[in-house]
Amino acid sequence: MQPLTRVTPATIDVLQTFVESSDALWGLRVIKESGRPAGSVYPILERLESVGWVASRWEDDNSRSGPRRRYYELTDGGAVAARAAIATFVAARRPKAAPNVIATSAVTA
């Protein structure tokens, strides 16, 4: 498994969708759940798969005729890396408390 070279907000949304789901997801479900357009999600899925964070397989359901759905799920290493990436991203995005706010809190306490 390789590290992701570029983690965008859309990548985090896709990873979050996988982390919150206990089952494998097909591409269209990822688009729906992440709220990201197909033009973002398809390349992200390909990138996650190429670095080994996500694995994919065809659906097993033989009752549906026509083309098969492609299901994606986090690999073991990918699940760990995804949670770490989300945590890092959230921490970076969290607004830091301004010094005067901290000082005020300290005085109040």
8 in contact with other proteins (CB under 8 A): no
Residue whose CB is less far from other proteins, 38 or 90: 38
Write the CB contacts of 53 (distance below 8 Å, at least 6 apart in sequence): 1, 4, 15, 74, 75, 77, 78, 81, 82
- Nearest-approach distance from CB 98 to other proteins, in angstroms: 35
Single out the segment in contact with other proteins by CB under 8 A; choices: 24-32, 73-81, 89-97, 98-106. 24-32
3-state helix, strand, coil in the chain (%, to 5): 55, 10, 35
Q: Check binding of 1 to other proteins (CB under 8 A).
A: no
Q: Output 43 or 52, the one with its CB closest to other proteins.
A: 43
Figure out which of the listed residues 19, 51, 55, 68 binds other proteins, where binding follows CB under 8 A.
Answer: 68
Distance, in Å, from the CA atom of 40 to the CA atom of 34, rounded to the nearest integer, reads 10
Nearest distance from C-beta of residue 68 to other proteins, angstroms: 6
Q: What is the DSSP string of 56-88?
A: EEE----SS-SSPPEEEEE-HHHHHHHHHHHHH
* Binding interface with other proteins (CB under 8 A): 26-29, 31-32, 37-43, 46, 66-70
